[in-house]
Structure 1
Amino acid sequence: MELTWHGHSTWHVTVDDTSLLIDPFFDNPHTDLDPADVDDPDYVLLTHGHADHIAHVGEFADSTVVAMPELAGYVADEYGVDDTVGMNLGGTVECGDAFVTMHRADHSSGIETGYEAYAGMPAGFVVSDAMPTQVSDEESQTFYHAGDTQLMTEMREVIGPYLEPDAVAVPIGDHFTMGPMQAAVAVDWVDADVAFPMHYDTFPPIEQDPEDFEREVEATGSDADVQILSGDETVDLSELEPY
Structure 2
Amino acid sequence: MELTWHGHSTWHVAVGDTSLLIDPFFGNPHTSLDPADVETPDYVLLTHGHADHVGDLGAFTDATVVGTPELTAWAADEHGADDTIGMNMGGTVECGDAYVTMHRADHTNGINTDYEYSGGPPTGYVIGDTVPTQETDEDAFAFYHAGDTGLMSEMRDVIAPFLEPDVAALPVGDHFTMGPAQAAIAVDWLDVDHVLPMHYDTFPPIEIDIEQLEREVAATGSDAEVHVLDGDETVGFDRSYADE
What band does the TM-score fall into relative to the shorter chain?
over 0.9
Across the two proteins, how many residue pairs are aligned to each other? 243
Distance 1:6 1:52 in 2: 12
Distance 2:113 2:6 in 1: 22
Structure 1 SS opposite 2:131: coil
After the TM superposition, which residues 204-223 of structure 1 pair with which residues of structure 2 at under 5 Å, given as runs?
204-223=204-223
Structure 1 SS opposite 2:124: strand
In terms of mean alpha carbon deviation, does 232-241 or 8-17 score higher?
232-241
Distance 1:32 1:226 in 2: 23
Q: What are the Cα deviations for residues 129-158 of structure 1, in whole angstroms up to 9, with x where unaligned? A: 000000111111100000000000000000
Contact 2:173–2:207 (CA under 8 A) maintained in structure 1? yes
1:115: Cα distance to partner?
A: 3.7
Distance 1:170 1:214 in 2: 13
Contact 1:51–1:113 (CA under 8 A) maintained in structure 2? no
Hey, what does 1:190 align to over in structure 2? Answer: 190
Distance 2:50 2:38 in 1: 21
1:56 aligns with 2:56: yes
The TM-score normalised by the length of structure 2 is: 0.98
Structure 2 SS opposite 1:173: coil
Distance 2:234 2:200 in 1: 18
After the TM superposition, which residues 1-243 of structure 1 pair with which residues of structure 2 at under 5 Å, given as runs?
1-238=1-238, 240=241, 242-243=243-244
1:225: Cα distance to partner?
A: 0.8
Contact 1:169–1:197 (CA under 8 A) maintained in structure 2? yes
1:242: Cα distance to partner?
A: 3.5
1:241: Cα distance to partner?
A: 5.5
Distance 2:215 2:15 in 1: 31
Q: What are the Cα deviations for residues 83-117 of structure 1, in whole angstroms up to 9, with x where unaligned? A: 00000000000000000000000001111244422
Contact 1:19–1:41 (CA under 8 A) maintained in structure 2? yes
Structure 2 SS opposite 1:52: helix
The TM-score normalised by the length of structure 1 is: 0.98
Listed as ranges, the gaps of 5+ residues in structure 2 are none
Distance 2:243 2:33 in 1: 31
Distance 1:113 1:50 in 2: 11
Q: What are the Cα deviations for residues 169-192 of structure 1, in whole angstroms up to 9, with x where unaligned? A: 000011100000001100110100
Distance 1:34 1:181 in 2: 33
Structure 2 SS opposite 1:178: coil
% same residue: 68
Distance 1:241 1:103 in 2: 22
Distance 1:3 1:115 in 2: 35
Structure 2 SS opposite 1:174: coil
RMSD: 1.0
Structure 2 SS opposite 1:85: strand
1:223: Cα distance to partner?
A: 1.0
In terms of mean alpha carbon deviation, does 108-117 or 163-172 score higher?
108-117
AA at the equivalent of 2:233: E
